[in-house]
Amino acid sequence: MAADNKGVAIRKRQQIDSSKKTMFIFVASAAFLAGIALVVSIFLIQQIVFHSKIIIEKQSTISRLDKNLKTIDELKKNIRVLDTNTALNSIKSSDESNALQTILDALPDNPNADAFGASLKNKFIDTTTGVTIQSLSVSQAGSGGEGSESAPANTVSFTMEVSGPADRLKELLTKLESSIRVIDLKALEIQRNEDKLSLVVRGVAYYQPAQTVQLENKVVKP
């Protein structure tokens, strides 16, 4: 009997140990599956948030493009109106030019100081009979040239000295004031030299940097 009781006790102990192992395995498996489910849930939430950001950016881009497309017709209309503008057509640089080119001539998209200096000499001074050029300097604002430090932004500063009869110098100033290019005369100095006058003119010409429109890629980070 004692041996039988001992065998029963051993079997019960083995059953208890087996039950403990089974429970441990079950709990461990459940914890493992719960961990996987949590990781998958976090990943899915991150993906949902990420794709939501992409959709928002796409909608914003579509809305912006749609708005730009709607303004094209209005822009074309305004350009056609400008192209028939009497005032602009009356001051075209040549018969082959259009009215819109007049605007670009009046306000170029870059300083191009060398070209402006050549224009002052060729189109103004050299075309005024009796006027002789003594000196001419042109510099972009902020480039370190004479008078450039005090000049406004988007300007080309110039200083020129010419000599000639009073009526011819007046003709030159009239040409400068009626120039298609926007020129602002800042200072005039006149000195008499025998039968001629010496005129020093300081001024600025304006330009407007071109605006660049281009499509860009935007990276949306998760």
Longest Cα–Cα distance of the chain, Å, equals 153
Q: Strands, DSSP E only, in the chain?
A: 132-140, 155-164, 183-193, 196-206
Euclidean distance between CA atoms 212 and 222, whole angstroms: 30
pLDDT of residue 17: 63
Arithmetic mean of pLDDT, 184-213: 86
The more confidently predicted of residues 221 and 196 is: 196
Q: Tell me the pLDDT tens digit for each residue of 12-32.
A: 666 666 666 777 777 777 777
Q: Tell me the pLDDT tens digit for each residue of 43-69.
A: 888 778 878 888 888 888 788 878 877
pTM tops 0.85: no
pLDDT of residue 16: 66
What's the topology of domain 107-206? Alpha-Beta Plaits (3.30.70)
What three-state secondary structure class fits 151?
coil
Euclidean distance between CA atoms 93 and 202, whole angstroms: 25
List Cβ neighbours of 201 (8 Å cut-off, separation of 6 or more).
158, 159, 160, 161, 162, 173, 176, 185, 187, 188
Strand-pair partners of 170: none
pLDDT at 161 over 90: yes
**Sequence spans of domains, the chain:** 1-83, 107-206
Most confident among 30-39, 73-82, 129-138, 208-217 (mean pLDDT): 129-138
Nearest alpha carbon to residue 200 among 161, 158, 157, 153: 161
Confidence tier at 2 by pLDDT (50, 70, 90): low
The more confidently predicted of residues 70 and 10 is: 70
| Whole-number average pLDDT of the chain | 79
The pLDDT > 90 percentage for the chain reads: 21
Euclidean distance between CA atoms 59 and 37, whole angstroms: 32
